Amino acid sequence: MIDLYYADTPNGQKITLFLEEAGLPYQLHRIDISKGDQFKPEFLAISPNNKIPAIVDNSPADGGEPLSIFESGAILIYLAEKSGKLISQNLREKTTQLQWLFWQVGGFGPMLGQNHHFTRYATEKVPYAIKRYTEETQRLYSVLNKRLAQSPYLGGQEYSIADIATYTWARLHDHHNIDLANYPAIEKWLNKINQRPATKKLFGE
């Protein structure tokens, strides 16, 4: 059984989407990040950077003590390797999947997050930051669109953890002021993922 420390955000949803796809049993522990639950010592013991998601695997493959993991990319790789699902066994496709997974956790997530913050939440309007993160968001969506125009999924032929990680952010394109009419390959890919049973179960799309 996997214990998942979770809030209903794109980073949290990456892990529920994976677990539903892979059919791994899990127990959800909600962390209310608006109330500061992420700073409680028992959560920090699992996730020292005070962010969700985090997991504890109570039956790791080495048969040892429960294993805790933080950072969504590390969790996805761990769970994919544990289950043998949503990661390719082919050297080249797996390497491509991991590149796009790191692209998401290092760029597409953080930059879109900053965009959302400065365009919607910041109490002070900072034109420089709004311009910087709006342009960076558009650039990243263009990179994604170009990749998906060449390939059915981010890693190549197979749906993988790279698509899962990117999907939970890109489905919120409206929040990023992105008009999908300008990114047709992304729209097609989103529609395809929306049809998967695990996606429908979690997002009702």
Ligand X SMILES: N[C@@H](CCC(=O)N[C@@H](CS)C(=O)NCC(=O)O)C(=O)O
Chain residues that interact with ligand X, rule: CB under 6 A: 7, 9, 11, 33, 38, 50-53, 71-73, 105
Residue that is written with structure tokens 């950077």 in the block: 49
Neighbour tally for 132: CB within 10 Å: 15
Comparing CB distances to ligand X, the nearer of 97 and 183 is 97
CA separation for the pair 132, 111 (Å, rounded)? 10
Q: What angle do CA 196, 197, 199 make, to 5 degrees?
A: 65
Comparing CB distances to ligand X, the nearer of 102 and 152 is 102
What is the smallest separation between the CB atom of 92 and ligand X, expressed in angstroms? 25
The answer to whether 6 touches 53, Cβ cutoff 8 Å, is yes
What is the smallest separation between the CB atom of 15 and ligand X, expressed in angstroms? 9
Comparing CB distances to ligand X, the nearer of 75 and 193 is 75
Helix (H) or strand (E) holding 2: strand 2-6
Comparing CB distances to ligand X, the nearer of 47 and 199 is 47
What is the smallest separation between the CB atom of 43 and ligand X, expressed in angstroms? 10
What is the smallest separation between the CB atom of 123 and ligand X, expressed in angstroms? 18
The answer to whether 69 touches 51, Cβ cutoff 8 Å, is no
Distances (CA, A) of 111 to 3, 83, 104: 29, 30, 10
What is the smallest separation between the CB atom of 32 and ligand X, expressed in angstroms? 10
The answer to whether 154 touches 97, Cβ cutoff 8 Å, is yes
Beta-sheet pairing, 26-30 with 54-57: unpaired
Comparing CB distances to ligand X, the nearer of 39 and 182 is 39
